[in-house]
Amino acid sequence: MPLNRRIVLASRPQGEARLENFRLETVALPPLADGQVLVRNLWLSLDPYMRMRMNEGRSYAAPQPINEVMIGGTVGEVVESRHPSYRPGDKVLAMFGWQEYGISDGSGMRKLPDGPLPLSAYLGTVGMPGVTAWYGLNRIIEPKAGETILVSAASGAVGGVVGQLAKLAGCRAVGIAGGPEKCRYVVEELRFDACIDYKSEDVAAALARACPNGIDGYFENVGGEILNAVLPAMNAHGRIALCGLIANYESEQVPIRQPRWLLVSRLKLQGFIVSEHMDLWPQALKELADHVTAGRIRYRETVAQGLENAPAAFLGMLKGKNLGKQLVKLV
């Protein structure tokens, strides 16, 4: 059996996460038992939720254990199998985490089809981030043609899909992103109607210009001061899908300063965890795959090379250094 390199959580962050919170290890792999498969991971997904799970305390999922492999989605190739449903060469989606190999009895693992989509897409637009966008928009915001849909972190793996799905539903899509390059990408490549640069613009004033008819639906990935600027601009009976609060993961939490807007505008604010809605994944994945194959949904990837560079790529993503989906190419 080959040796396995893996990255574990060495310590919990105090404030911002740092490289020293991670440790690269090399360990021996045990021999396969009957009913197991050995997978060589090809791609690793890096996602904002991982930062929250590095902390202790109550959340929707258990904290990432110390001295264990960092959680994460992977796409890989079966290299050895003692399982009747898998054979060497099969490409699989799994949650093997930050390591080069994984062993599984098939639980929680999905065989990927042959087809036109690159394997990396199954960790992004045609994977968990895409389904997150699909669910929050279609099941919480429930867009209607002619409405204005606002998306924070619009250049990211989730936000970019939200805006494109909103456009396909006949809506005006407005993004919020950090920096002129990201805003250009959101408008020129993802085809949003407008994008607000929160780093250089007064967000409240920019919202008034970009959303002259108010905001009907808001997909929230960020929280903090962005959410405080958005609430007064929401139309009556507006809907907010609360997906993430990345602005609060590594710093002091910013409260909602004027919660009265939730009442005044009779807003729906609903948080969600996409893994609680697995019954809808097949429908969402089929629609997303069709859109990507037909060119109706576009995406970009930021790729780090090699497992050893995963921590730095992850920390960079938390600071907004990526464009689109952040991945690590392991082979």
Domains and CATH numbers, the chain: 3-123+300-329 (3.90.180.10), 128-275 (3.40.50.720)
Residue 254 is predicted with a pLDDT of: 77
Residue 62 is predicted with a pLDDT of: 87
Supply the angle between the helices 281-294 and 159-168 in degrees, to the nearest 10. 80
Residue 255 is predicted with a pLDDT of: 83
- Burial-class residue 5 by CB neighbours within 10 Å (0-12, 13-18, 19+): middle
| Unique residue bearing structure tokens 């899509």 | 173
Residue 330 is predicted with a pLDDT of: 98
Classify residue 34 by its DSSP letter. Answer: T
Residue 191 is predicted with a pLDDT of: 98
Classify residue 97 by its DSSP letter. Answer: -
Which two structure tokens, joined as six digits, stand for 180? 């002129």
The SS3 of residue 266 is coil
Supply the angle between the helices 128-135 and 159-168 in degrees, to the nearest 10. 50
114: phi then psi, degrees, rounded to nearest 5: -75, 145
331 residues of the chain, pLDDT tens digit each: 789 999 999 999 998 999 999 999 999 999 999 999 999 999 999 999 999 999 988 877 889 999 999 999 999 999 999 999 999 999 999 999 999 999 999 999 999 999 899 999 999 999 999 999 999 999 999 999 999 999 999 999 999 999 999 999 999 999 999 999 999 999 999 999 999 999 999 999 999 999 999 999 999 999 999 999 999 999 999 999 999 988 776 666 778 999 999 999 999 999 999 999 999 999 999 999 999 999 999 999 999 999 999 999 999 999 999 999 999 999 9
Q: Largest Cα–Cα distance in the chain?
A: 63
Residue 250 is predicted with a pLDDT of: 63
> Of 253, 331, 329, 327, whose CA–CA distance to 45 is shortest?
327
